[in-house]
A and B are shown apart, each in its own frame.
Chain A
Amino acid sequence: MSDNSNSFVRHEMLSERAPPIGERGVLKWARENLFSSVFNTIMTIASVWVIYSIAVGAAPWFFNGVWNAKTTRECYEILDGVNGACFAVLQERFPQLIYGFKYPSTEYWRPNLATILLLVALAPVLFRRLPKGLLGFSVIYPFLAYWLIWGGTILIPTVAFVGCCIGVACYRKFSSGAFVTAIILGLFSAYLCWFLGGYLISWNNDFLSLKEVPSRDMGGFMLNLLLGTIAVSLSIPLGITLALGRQSNMPIIKWICVVFIEFIRGVPLITLLFVANVILAFFFPPETSIDLILRVIIMMTFFNSAYIAEVVRGGLAALPSGQYEAANSLGLDYSQSMRFIILPQALKISIPGIVNVSVGMLKDTTLVSIISMFDLVGMIRGPILSSTDWNGVYWELFGAAAAIFFVVCFTVSKYSQWLERQLETGKH
Chain B
Amino acid sequence: MTDKLKLEVSDEIAIQIQSMNKWFGSFHVLRDIDLTVNRGERIVVCGPSGSGKSTLIRCVNALEEHQTGQIIVDGTELTSDIKNIDRIRSEVGMCFQHFNLFPHLSILENCTLAPIWVRKIPKKEAEETAMHFLEKVKIPEQADKYPGQLSGGQQQRVAIARSLCMRPRIMLFDEPTSALDPEMIKEVLDTMIELAEDGMTMICVTHEMGFARQVANRVIFMDEGQIVEQNEPEQFFNNPQSDRTKLFLSQILGH
A-side interface residues toward B, CB under 8 Å?
A: 320, 322-323, 325-333, 336, 340-341, 344-345, 348, 423, 425-428
- Among residues of A, the one whose C-beta sits closest to the C-beta of B98 is A322
Q: Chain B's nearest CB lies how many Å from the CB of A224? A: 35
A426 in contact with B146 given A330-B166, A333-B86 (CB within 8 Å): yes
Nearest-CB residue, chain B, relative to A334: B82
B96 pairs with A428, CB closer than 8 A: no
- Measured between beta carbons, the chain B residues less than 8 angstroms from A322 are 96, 98, 100
24 A-B pairs in the complex with CB atoms less than 8 angstroms apart: A322-B96, A323-B100, A325-B96, A325-B100, A326-B100, A327-B102, A329-B92, A329-B93, A329-B94, A330-B89, A330-B113, A330-B166, A331-B89, A331-B118, A332-B117, A332-B118, A333-B82, A336-B118, A341-B102, A423-B104, A425-B104, A425-B146, A425-B147, A426-B103
Would you give the shortest CB distance from A318 to chain B, in whole angstroms?
12
Bound Cα distance A328, B89 (Å): 7
Residues of B near any A CB (own CB < 8 A): 61, 63, 82, 86-87, 89-90, 92-94, 96, 98, 100-105, 113-114, 117-118, 146-149, 162-163, 166
Tell me if A427 and B148 are in contact (CB < 8 A).
yes
Q: Which of B63, B102, B104, B117 contacts A329 (CB 8 A)?
A: B63
User: Which residues of chain B come closer than 8 Å to A326, judged between CB atoms?
Assistant: 96, 100-102
Q: Which of B86, B114, B148 contacts A425 (CB 8 A)?
A: B148
* A348 to B93 CA separation, bound complex (whole angstroms): 28
A340 & B113 in contact (Cβ 8 Å cutoff): yes
B115 shortest CB reach to chain A, Å: 9
Contact indicator B100/A340 (Cβ below 8 Å): no
Which of chain B's residues have a CB closer than 8 A to the CB of A320? 98, 100
Q: How far is the CA of A396 from the CA of B86 in the complex (A)?
A: 64
| Cβ of A421 to closest chain B Cβ, rounded Å | 14
Q: Which of A325, A345, A426 contacts B63 (CB 8 A)?
A: A325
Assembly CA distance A340 to B102 (angstroms)? 9
Chain B residues in 8 Å Cβ range of A336: 117-118
Q: How many whole Å from A333's CB to the nearest CB in chain B?
A: 6
Interchain CB contact (< 8 A) of A344 among B92, B104, B148: B104
A331 B90 Cβ-Cβ under 8 A? yes
Residues of chain B lying within 8 A (CB to CB) of residue A426 = 103, 146-149
Beta-carbon nearest neighbor of A427 in chain B:
B148
Q: Note all chain A residues with C-beta closer than 8 A to B149.
A: 426-428
Measured CA separation A426–B103 after assembly (Å): 7
Listed residue (A329, A332, A427) with the most chain B CB atoms within 10 angstroms of its CB: A329
Closest to B149 in A: A428
CA distance A328 to B118 in the complex (A): 11
- CB atoms of B94 and A331 under 8 A apart: no
**A325 CB, nearest partner CB in chain B, Å:** 6
List, in ascending order, chain B residues with CB within 8 A of A325's CB: 63, 96, 100
B28 to chain A, nearest CB (A): 23
Known: A336-B117, A340-B113, A341-B102; 11 extra A-B contacts, CB below 8 A, are: A320-B98, A326-B102, A328-B63, A328-B89, A329-B94, A329-B163, A330-B90, A331-B90, A331-B114, A331-B166, A428-B148
A224 to B94, CA, bound (A): 52
- Closest A residue, CB atoms, query B63: A325
Contacts of B86 in A (CB 8 A): 331, 333
Q: A332 to B114, Cβ gap below 8 A?
A: yes
Task: Name the residue on A nearest B82 (C-beta).
Answer: A333
For B148, list chain A residues within 8 Å (CB): 425-428
In the assembled complex, the Cα of A427 lies from the Cα of B96 at a distance in Å of 22
**Chain B residues closer than 8 Å to A328, beta-carbon distance:** 63, 89
List B contacts of A331 (CB < 8 A). Answer: 86-87, 89-90, 114, 118, 166
A330 to B109 alpha-carbon distance, docked (Å): 13
Chain A contacts of B118 at CB under 8 A?
Answer: 330-332, 336
Could you tell me the distance between the alpha carbons of A383 and B89 in the complex, rounded to whole angstroms? 67
A-B pairs, top 7 by smallest CB distance, nearest first, are A426-B148, A331-B90, A326-B100, A322-B100, A330-B114, A425-B146, A329-B94
Interchain CA distance A323-B103 in the complex, whole Å: 9
Closest-by-CB residue of A relative to B97 is A322
Complex Cα distance, B63 from A84, in Å, reads: 72
Q: Which of A331, A425, A427 lies at the interface centre, i.e. has the most chain B CB atoms within 10 A of its CB?
A: A331
* Bound: A156/B225 CA distance, A: 67
Check A348/B104 contact, CB under 8 A, given A328-B63, A328-B89, A333-B86: yes
| A57 CB to nearest B CB, Å | 51
Q: Collect the chain B residues with CB atoms within 8 Å of residue A348's CB.
A: 104
Bound state CA distance, A332 and B100, in angstroms? Answer: 15
A345 touches B117 (CB 8 A): no
Interface centre among A325, A348, A427 (most CB of B within 10 A): A325
Which residues on the A side are within 8 Å of B90 (C-beta)? 330-331
Given contacts A322-B98, A330-B89, contact A345 B166 (CB under 8 A): no
